[in-house]
Amino acid sequence: MAEKMATRQAYGEALVENGAKNKDLVVLDADLSKSTMTVKFSEAYPERFFNMGIAEQNMYGVAAGLAASGKTVVASTFAMFATGRAFEIIRNSIGYTHLNVKICATHAGVTVGEDGASHQAIADLALMREIPGMIVVNPSDGVSAKKALDAVLAIDGPCYVRYGRASVPVVYDESLKFEIGKGIQVRDGKDVALIATGIMVNEAIQAAEILEKEGISARVIDIHTIKPIDEDIIVKAAKETKGIVTCEEHTIIGGLGSAVAEVTAKKAPAKISMIGVQDRFGQSGKPDQLMKEYGLTAEDIVKAAKGLL
């Protein structure tokens, strides 16, 4: 079994590294620093960390004001409260203004686990994707989680980065080249394309291995940047395989599946099967139990892939 790490853990460490490089980096949190892992930054740079209390709307407004004053701002809380509760503040004060704020949200998706539906953000990518100019990133493992932060901090403008709570297998090694807007072909294949994002990349890789044993060649693509999406890699997959399975730990309404379908509908019509949360709320349970319950496992992807052939 591969080494495991939560993407939020890698994020917390990367934040400290960036704090040393960028003296204008200011970090905000809303009373969840020990969970989002911004606590590491708060210990390293207490003079540049501000706890805004349990008040997410104000936190993102303050983030906008800091950014308008020349600061590079990272503001963290759970994905539910960042993109849900504070949505309109992010939309109007960070998106419309195009300010340099990085919304780094953790505890996204159903793998939040036991806390249940109220805390499981399954539409965060959809919400952030509709804001003009917002870059939306969803790293798949510890290595890409760190590189995702480095990459968004190099951009002057609003970005959303989605991190998870649970430990997930490390997919990449340190040589990974992570470029915003460029999908990664993790594995080549000609029969079917498994286009995945976030922690579903690992499930897609496992699915491809199962399919291989059954004589089906599956291409695996990691779309870590939901917006701007890598149209070329999607069009190529649509043309070179018999069908696409999109894989996301997110509602199929407005997320990766929708984004891929928007591309193929315009440029290369393809058969698509969407693995993701099927218009349901989450619930309490262990992450692996919830992955099964919501049809998000490698086995579910295998079934969907076969259905396309």
Binding site for other proteins (CB under 8 A): 26, 47-48, 50, 52-53, 55, 57-58, 60-71, 88-89, 92-93, 96-98
Nearer to other proteins, 23 or 190 (CB): 23
Hey, is 274 helix, strand or coil? strand
Nearer to other proteins, 60 or 172 (CB): 60
Let me know: does 199 contact 249? Beta carbons within 8 Å.
yes
- Spatial CA neighbour of 140 closest among 111, 172, 174, 105: 172
56 catalytic per annotation: yes
Let me know: does 181 contact 151? Beta carbons within 8 Å.
no
Cα dist. 308→26, 46, 116, 190, 304 in Å? 48, 53, 33, 13, 7
Angle at 251 between CA 218 and CA 227, to 5 degrees: 75
Let me know: does 128 contact 116? Beta carbons within 8 Å.
no
Nearest distance in Å: CB 48, other proteins: 7
Nearest distance in Å: CB 122, other proteins: 25
Catalytic residue among 3, 43, 56, 240: 56
Nearest distance in Å: CB 117, other proteins: 23
Please identify which residue in the block is written with the tokens 């020990």. Answer: 34
Cα dist. 301→202, 205, 240, 273 in Å? 11, 10, 19, 9
Please identify which residue in the block is written with the tokens 């210990």. Answer: 43
Residue 38 identity (one-letter amino acid): T
CA 305 – CA 157 distance, rounded (Å): 38
Nearer to other proteins, 53 or 307 (CB): 53
Nearest distance in Å: CB 121, other proteins: 20
Nearest distance in Å: CB 100, other proteins: 12
Nearest distance in Å: CB 102, other proteins: 15
Nearer to other proteins, 65 or 269 (CB): 65
Count of CB atoms situated within 10 Å of the CB of 46: 9
- Spatial CA neighbour of 287 closest among 6, 68, 48: 6
DSSP, residue by residue, 24-67:
TEEEEESS-HHHHSTHHHHHH-GGGEEE--S-HHHHHHHHHHHH
Nearer to other proteins, 4 or 98 (CB): 98
Nearer to other proteins, 6 or 66 (CB): 66
Which of the residues are catalytic? 56
